[in-house]
Amino acid sequence: MTDIQIQLDRVADDAHLLDVRDLFIEFHTRDGIAKVINGVSYHLDAGEALAVLGESGSGKSVTAQAIMGILDIPPGKIVSGQICYNGRDLLSLPEKERRQVRGKEIAMVFQDALSALNPVFPVGWQISETLRHREGVARADALRRAVELMELVRIPAAKQRLRDYPHEFSGGMRQRVMIAMSLALSPKILIADEPTTALDVTVQAQVMDLLAELRRELHMAMILITHDLGVVADVADRIAVMYAGRIVEHADVHDLYAVQGHPYTKGLIDSIPRLDHKGQELATIQGLPPSLMDIPRGCPFHPRCPYRKDPICSTQVPTDQRLASGTRTSRCHFAKEVLDGTAA
Amino acid sequence: MAPQRETILRVENIAKYFPITRGIVFQTKIGEVKAVDGVSFDLAKGETVGVVGESGCGKSTLARLIMRLEHPTRGQVFYQDRDIFAMPGSALRRLRRNIQMVMQDPYTSLNPRMTVGDIIGEPFEIHRDVAPRGDRRRKVQELLDYVGLNPEHISRYPHQFSGGQRQRIGIARALALRPKIIVCDEPVSALDVSIQAQVINLLERLQNELGLAYIFIAHDLSVVRHISDRVAVMYLGKVVEIGTEDEIYGRPTHPYTQALLSAVPVPDPTARAHRDVIRLEGDVPSPANPPSGCRFRTRCWKAKPICTEQEPPLTAQQADPHLSACHFAELRHVVA
């Protein structure tokens, strides 16, 4: 019985579209070794949207770069782990095959569209470039396809704007151009790394709406990387919260915002000022995030944690604790107590 | 919070136009950017006025005008009933003591080649009577302690501190001369979420203890609500709506304010389902060529011919008595 159960689990595991397993990444720098990713696992199914949330230095972008295969090696080094796409480990593929995956199966949108686009070529040329090089589409056909892609991301008067240069577009429109480029080869997974951080609130709302619509229309899976708890609230299905290169909490969006199972997530949500009332003094997380050259022993969050209990928290690294709904996990020795509100 | 209604700063119809020129040797003016175009408000002792708006709305230029870092095209700023742009040098020097600024980016606003002690102590170099030379080190250490930094770190350099700590250094520098007003230009937008709350709490504690007045400029509407007593909403160089924090967030009457509030991402998917969704089309127009009449009309869903012809004045509205500049102002509860 249990054997069958294990086998079933394995089959289910293999069925994930993307499966990151126990990833460890280091950066070798002049000052020493920075342990940037310390055992990250997450998965993504077709058509699903996962938000990866973390502050600067938490490792959220590095994980995405490793998935895309655009991590700078050196100084970066993938120590161990697997990144499986459709059951194949991308990390063991030769570069030639890896290139077939990049852009075509998994594509990426970057934060700063102005520096990600080439300033000396018209946008139409840049969007169609992928089609010409990767698919061997003729120039005129590729441009026609570029117009369709620009219409898909709701750029008004797409045909007239084909020959415009990136600087002739506003911030929001430039981000749409980036999205159009990433969609050129109809990827199954779109990774968006802080796609709206450089944009104003009203434009940010437009771009997030667009991403949500595209996901539905194209039945595309999405990884949204962000530091802003608000931005992903109605686009993502699940959220993984990262701290010091680990996923500390992983839950369904509604569950996570309703009640938190890790002291760090709880601290983050409590420390945001609210729009609907003025509120009293803000709750804070004391101290600073750790240096990745010198991550604290035991639970990496213990020096800042209000629920810390010694000696367990300062000596033992917590493993994932399964919580209530089954898929929900928290890397805290007292996860259940934090979730129930009985932790002291 | 407390209604001490003694006005300390009054901004009257201030405007700043930047010329757009062509040519390098023989420059000819071909137009102007109306960065700030007729803004008026006042600030009471111990009060916080928040200024919100999207990029290009003129909020940072407004801050620079109040600091007298820019000379206005027209209009005045009165500090305790004296026009700061008409002040002679000696009075201006005294004024600088009373109005200080905290900058947005804690990475570029501190000189990397100066120690923290020199950075915070530099104001004493100019205003020598505030702290005699022998007393300076002690004063700087007091300031460090006051903003929550270790006084023993006085000889360290900025790069040895994190972003949040650097912002505390910037705040300590602004406090050195015991000002009455601090202009904060996006003081927390470069910081991580968990650090942002620490700095906001520090600013609030300093206000309570020292009776400071703040002009708090930010694009994050939740942060502004939390810290402000009154809020001004800017769009393309103009104030479109101004009122108490309750009025602006709870009873907004200007369509732009309503759209702005509706666009704020709220970290609560359940509450969001009940929210009033207003999505604006397009981006903010260029301030070099603002629309005629009401500047918001190109993105407004209520726009009628009158909006193109007449600029709506900033007045008390029938819908709610706080000031709003719209021909068709009406109440709409956007925030649940």
Sign of the four-CA dihedral A258, A264, A267, A268: negative
Mean pLDDT of chain A: 86
Is B259 close to A172, i.e. CB distance below 8 A? Answer: no
Give me the mean pLDDT over the A230-242 stretch. Answer: 87
- Burial bucket for residue B240 (CB in 10 Å: 0-12, 13-18, 19+): buried
Looking at beta carbons, which residues of chain A come within 8 Å of B198?
284
Structure tokens at B16: 């700043």
Give me the mean pLDDT over the B223-227 stretch. Answer: 93
pLDDT value, residue A277: 81
pLDDT value, residue A9: 46
- pLDDT confidence of A2, banded at 50, 70, 90? very low
Residue A274, pLDDT above cutoff 90? no
pLDDT value, residue B272: 66
Residue B253, pLDDT above cutoff 80? yes
Give me the mean pLDDT over the A185-214 stretch. Answer: 88
pLDDT value, residue A224: 93
pLDDT tens per residue, range A283-298: 888 888 888 888 888 8
Whole-number Å distance between alpha carbons of B157 and B112: 7
Is B267 close to A230, i.e. CB distance below 8 A? Answer: yes
Give me the mean pLDDT over the B299-326 stretch. Answer: 92
Looking at beta carbons, which residues of chain B come within 8 Å of A231?
265
For residue A274, what is the nearest residue in chain B, using CA coordinates?
A: B222
pLDDT value, residue B216: 94
- pLDDT confidence of A231, banded at 50, 70, 90? confident
DSSP B154: G
Is A284 close to B194, i.e. CB distance below 8 A? Answer: yes
DSSP A295: P
Task: Enumerate residues 200 to 219 of chain B having a beta carbon within 8 A of any beta carbon in chain A.
Answer: 200-201, 204, 219
Of A55, A206, A233, the CB nearest to B268: A233
DSSP B228: -
- pLDDT confidence of A6, banded at 50, 70, 90? very low
Give me the mean pLDDT over the B69-82 stretch. Answer: 92
Amino acid at A12: A
Specify the length of chain B in residues: 336
pLDDT tens per residue, range A10-32: 444 557 899 999 999 999 888 88
ipTM of the complex: 0.80
Give me the mean pLDDT over the B229-235 stretch. Answer: 95
Give me the mean pLDDT over the B298-313 stretch. Answer: 92
Q: A207-216 long-range contacts, Cβ below 8 Å, gap at least 24?
A: A207/A172, A207/A175, A207/A176, A207/A179, A208/A235, A208/B265, A209/B279, A210/A153, A210/A154, A210/A176, A210/A179, A211/A179, A211/A235, A214/A152, A214/A153, A214/A179, A214/A183, A214/A190, A215/A47, A215/A49, A215/A190
Give me the mean pLDDT over the A119-140 stretch. Answer: 89
CA distance B137 to chain A (A): 26
Residue B6, pLDDT above cutoff 80? yes
Residue A7, pLDDT above cutoff 60? no
Looking at beta carbons, which residues of chain A come within 8 Å of B272?
233-234
Sign of the four-CA dihedral B322, B327, B330, B335: negative
For chain B, percent of residues with pLDDT exceeding 70: 98
Residue B68, pLDDT above cutoff 50? yes
Interface probe for A, chosen from B1, B59, B153, B194 (most Cβ of A below 10 Å), is B194
CB within 8 Å of A293: residues ≥ 6 apart: A31, A32, A33, A34, A35
For residue B229, what is the nearest residue in chain A, using CA coordinates?
A: A278
Give me the mean pLDDT over the A305-326 stretch. Answer: 85
pLDDT tens per residue, range A158-195: 888 889 999 888 888 888 999 999 999 889 999 999 88
pLDDT tens per residue, range A57-71: 888 889 999 999 888
Is A201 close to B260, i.e. CB distance below 8 A? Answer: yes
Grouping H, G, I as helix, E, B as strand and the rest as coil, residue A157 is: coil
pLDDT tens per residue, range B133-166: 788 889 899 999 988 888 888 999 998 888 888 9
Mean pLDDT of chain B: 89
Looking at beta carbons, which residues of chain A come within 8 Å of B193?
55, 227-229, 268, 271-272
